A and B are shown apart, each in its own frame.
Chain A
Amino acid sequence: MSIPPAPQGLEAVSDLQPPPSALQRRQFGTAGLRLTLRGRTIRLRGLRRPPTGALRWLAILGPGIVAGAAGNDGGAIASYSSAGAQFGYDLLWLIVILTVSLAVVQEMSARLGAATGRGLLDLIRERFGLSWALFAISIVLLANGGLIVSEFVGIGSGMELMGVSKYISVPLAAALVWFLVVVGSYNRVEKIFLIMTLVFFAYPVAAVLAHPHWNEVAKGVLMPKFHLSAGYITVFVGLIGTTLTPYQQLFQQSAVVEKGLARRHYGPERIDVYAGQVFSNLVAIFIIIATAATLHAHGKTAINTAADAAQALQPIAGNAAKTIFAVGLVGASLLSAAVLPLATAYSISEAFGFAKGVSLDFRRGRVFFGLFTFLLLFGAGVALIPNVPVITLLVGVQVFNGILLPVFLLFIMLLINDRRLTGNLKNTRLYNILGWGTFALVTIAVVVLLGAQALGLFGLQLFGGS
C-alpha cells in the first residue's frame, strides 16, 4: 500500500486532501496507558509503564556490576590464584564472609550516594572538616596510585602472554584509556571492557573439569580453617584488601551520584549492587577452586608469573589457556585502569569544589582531567620500570589497601548513621551489625598483620616461617 507523500508546500494547504487514515492506524511499539482523569478515560501513549520482570532488572544493572567486575582486576586474580595454590580450599570460607561484607559495604556507599547526591570525600570534608578530608585524600591517592600501577602491570603481563612486549602495550593502553575517557564515549567502551571480563566465566568450567574434591570444597566453604603462618596471614589480609578495596566504595558512590538517582527510587538499586558483588565473588571462588584443583593438587604452591596463574585454566582450554587468561586479565585491568583514576579524580575534585564529571570538556574540568591524566601517566610509568618485582608489588598494594580499609569503613559507618544526611535511608540495625562486624573483622586482621610484621622487625617470629 502506498502512502501519499506529506504536503510539501506546493499546493495551498486548504486544498489538500485529508491525510490518509492508514498512517494513523500505524502499530505502535508503546501501547501507552489508559488513565481516568477527572472522569475522562484516555489512552496516553506518551506515558510508559515501567518494564516488568527480567527487563526491569536488566534496566537497573549498572554501576554495581562495573564496580564488581573492576574489583576482579589483575591484583585480585593474583591474590585469588595464590590463595588457591598455597592453601587449597582452606580460604574459601573467607570469600563467602567477604561477599556478605562487601555487599553490605557497597550497598551502604550506594545508599549514601543516593541519599545525599554527593561523593564520599565531599561528605567527609563537610562532616569531619578539612584535615580529615585531606587525610582521606592522601590515603586515596596512595592506595589508588598503587592500584593503578598494578592495573598496568596486569595489562603488561597479560599482553606478554599473547606475545606483545609490555613496552608497547602499556603506553598504548594508557593512551587508549585516556582518549576514550577524555575525548570518546566512555560509557560505550565500558561495556566492551565488561564483555572482555566475561571470559573469567571460563573459571567455573575449568573448576568443574578439573574434578575438584567437592567434599573438600564444601568443607572449605563451611568450616573456617586457620594456619599459624606468616604466609597465611599475609594472604588472608591480601584477600580482604583485594576484595574490599576503598576505591570500589568511592566509585560506587560517585557512580550512583552521576546516575542521577533520587532518594525515593533507591530501593531497587540494591539489586544492582548485590548482583555485582555476588557475580564478582563467585568468579573469585571458582578461581580459588580451579587453582586449588590444578596447581595445589599437583604440589605447585608458588605463583610467580601470570603464566603460572594461567595454568589453572588448562582443564578447559588446554593450550589456549594462556590466551583466555590473558584476554580476561587485560579486559579487567583495562576496566579498572579507566575506573580507578576516574573515581579518584572525581572524588578529589569534588572535595575541593572543582568541576568534575566525564561529561565535561577539558577546558571546564582542568583539575579533574589533569588529575586523571597524572594518575594514568604515573601508573603506566611505574609499570614500565624494568625488573619491577611484579607479584610482590601486586600483593603489597593489596595488603596496603587492606590496611586502609578500616579507616574508610569507619567514615562510611559514621556518615550513613547520620540522620541529618541520610534521613530515612539511615542504616537499619541489621546493617549496623553487619557493617560493624566487617569493620571488626578487617581491623583485627590488619592489627594481627601489622603486629606480626612489627615483631618480625624485632627478630621475633610469631607463627613460624611461611
Chain B
Amino acid sequence: MLTHSQLRRFAVVDTHGQRVKLMDLAIELGDAEYPAVEYLLFRTRDKQVMCLPWRMVQRVDPAQRCIGVQDLGMAEPTSAEELGQMLLLKRDILDAMVLDLLNRRATRANDLSLAEEDGTLRLIGADTSAWGVLRRLSRGRFAGRSDIYDWKYIEFLRGDPQAPLTGAKYYRRIERLPPGEIANLSDSLPYLHAAELLHLLPDAIATDTLESLLPERQLQVFEELDEQRAVRFLANMAPDRAADLLGALEPDEAKRFLEQLPLERMNPIIELLRYPSDTAGGIMTNDVLFVAKHLTVAEARQALQPRLKRPDFILFIYVVDNVDTRQLCGVITIRTLLITSDAECIENIMNPYLITIRPLEPAATVAQRVIDSDLAALPVVGQHGQIVGAVTIDAAIAQLAVAGSYRLPRVFS
C-alpha cells in the first residue's frame, strides 16, 4: 500500500535512463468500487504537461521511490482544456471536501492511500486524521498511525452544483442513506456542495432531503438548483412544505415557480398560501384523506387506494357528508379501516366528536392545542363547516420550537 504523500516524492524513470518528477495522477471515477489510475502526468523541461497511460507502467518501486516505464517518449502532450476535464489526485481530490458516509460527516482528505493490484493502481482510501497532515508535511517520512477510511464509503463532491448535470461521474452511494441523514450531512456542507448533492440524488430522495433541510439552508440551496429540477422538487414536496418554501422566496420568484407547476400541484399550494403564515392556515397541511360517510368500509378502502399513494399524513381519515361539499362529520383512523368488517358503514364506526380548528386562529395557540390534545393532528374547518386541512403534531412542534429558544435544551446535553 502506498500513500499519496510517499508518491509525491516518486520519480518516473524509463529503460533509457531518462528521469522526470511525477506531477500528478489522473483517475477515472467509474463503476469500479476503487477508481483506477488512468494516466500519470509529468512536466518536460519546457513546462509542457505530458500524460502517459498507466498501462505503460512496468513497475512501482517504493524502495527506490520510482515508477518504471518503458519509454517516456511515448507520452503525449496534454492541453490545458484536457487537463481541466481530468480528475487529478493532487489537484482535485487531496484537500477537497469528501463525505465520509460511514460516520455521516463532511471532512477533508488529508492524505490518500493507493494499492496496486494486477498492474493497476487504485485509490483505496482517504486519511482524514491529523496524522495525514503530519505525514504530508514530512513528505511521507513520518508515517505515524494511519486512520484510513475505505474509499468505498466516501462520496467525493466537486463544489460545483452544475457538475452532476454536465455528466461528471459520481458514486452516488449516498442515496442509500435515509433522506433525513443526507439532510443532516448537507447542513454542514458549504451550500454549493449541498446543491450539488441534491442534483445527484434521484428526484424522490432529493425532494425528501430538501424537505428536511433547515429552513434558511433550504432556501439557499433551492436558489442554486437547476430551475427545471427545482420545479420538479416543488411538485413532489408535501404542499405545506412547498408553500413554506415559496413563502420565503421573493414574490416574483414564487410566482414564476408557481406558474410552472402542474395545475393539480399548484392549486393545493395556492390554497395554503392564502393564509398568513402566523395562522393555523399557515401551518396546516391540506394533503388530508377524506371519505364520504355513506360508504361501506370496503368501498372506502377502494376509494382511498389511489389517494394513499401520495399523501404524507395518513393516520386519520376524515369523514365528510360528500366529497364535493366536504362537510366534516367525523374521523376514523387507518387502523379502524383495516380491522373493521367490509360491510360496515363508515357513518357507524366514525367518531363524530372532534376538536376542530379554524384557519385564521393564531398559529401559536393552535400549535399548543394540538400538542395538548396528544393527537397526531387536529382538523381545520372552514366557514361552512367544510374540512380544509389539518395541523399535524410535526407542524405544531416546529411552530413552538421556532418561537422558543431551540438552543436552551443544550444545557442538559
Contacts and interface: CB of A to CB of B under 8 A. Distances in A.
Nearest to A188: B405
Contact of A16 (B258, B278, B383, B385): B385
Interface in A24-66: 24, 26, 28-30, 32-33, 35, 37-38, 42-50
Interface residues of B, number: 68
Interface residues of A, number: 59
A361 B105 CA distance: 15
B197 to A, nearest CB: 13
Contact of A6 (B266, B278, B357, B384): B357
Contacts of B96: 126
A165 interface: no
Interface stretch (A256-264, A331-339, A378-386, A395-403): A256-264
B247 interface: yes
Contacts, number: 158
A353 B276 contact: no
B330 A42 contact: no
A13 B293 CA distance: 13
Interface stretch (B13-21, B45-53, B169-177, B218-226): B218-226
* Chain A contact surface mostly: loop
B324 to A, nearest CB: 16
A266 to B, nearest CB: 11
A9 B374 CA distance: 14
B413 A361 contact: yes
Contacts of B355: 6-9
A187 to B, nearest CB: 9
Interface in B331-384: 352-358, 360-361, 381, 383-384
Interface in A160-186: 183-185
Interface stretch (A96-104, A127-135, A319-327, A443-451): A127-135
A14 B352 contact: yes
A33 B282 CA distance: 15
Contact of A46 (B223, B282, B328): B282
B230 to A, nearest CB: 13
A19 B274 contact: no
A353 to B, nearest CB: 3
B276 A28 contact: yes
Interface in A359-384: 359, 361-363
A116 interface: yes
B250 A46 contact: no
Nearest to B272: A46
Given A14-B328, A185-B407, A353-B108, A49 B275 contact: no
A341 interface: no
Contacts of A32: 274, 276
Nearest to B97: A353
* Chain B contact surface mostly: mixed
B145 interface: no
Interface in B239-287: 243, 246-247, 250-251, 254-255, 258-259, 263, 266, 270, 272-278, 282
B133 interface: yes
B71 interface: no
Contacts of B381: 7, 13, 19
A46 B352 contact: no
Nearest to B373: A9
Interface stretch (B116-124, B184-192, B296-304): B184-192
B224 A6 contact: no
Nearest to A33: B251
Contacts of B314: none
A117 B410 contact: no
B354 A7 contact: yes
A384 B323 CA distance: 76
Interface of B: 95-97, 105-108, 110, 128, 130, 133, 136-137, 159, 188, 190-193, 216-217, 219-220, 223-224, 243, 246-247, 250-251, 254-255, 258-259, 263, 266, 270, 272-278, 282, 321, 327-330, 352-358, 360-361, 381, 383-385, 405, 407, 410-411, 413
Given A21-B383, A125-B108, 20 more contacts: A7-B354, A12-B353, A13-B330, A19-B385, A23-B361, A26-B360, A33-B251, A35-B258, A37-B255, A37-B270, A42-B270, A44-B274, A48-B251, A117-B220, A185-B407, A262-B191, A265-B223, A352-B133, A353-B106, A355-B188
19 contacts: A13-B353, A13-B385, A14-B329, A18-B384, A24-B360, A28-B276, A29-B278, A32-B274, A32-B276, A42-B270, A46-B247, A46-B282, A47-B246, A130-B136, A183-B411, A257-B190, A261-B220, A352-B130, A352-B133
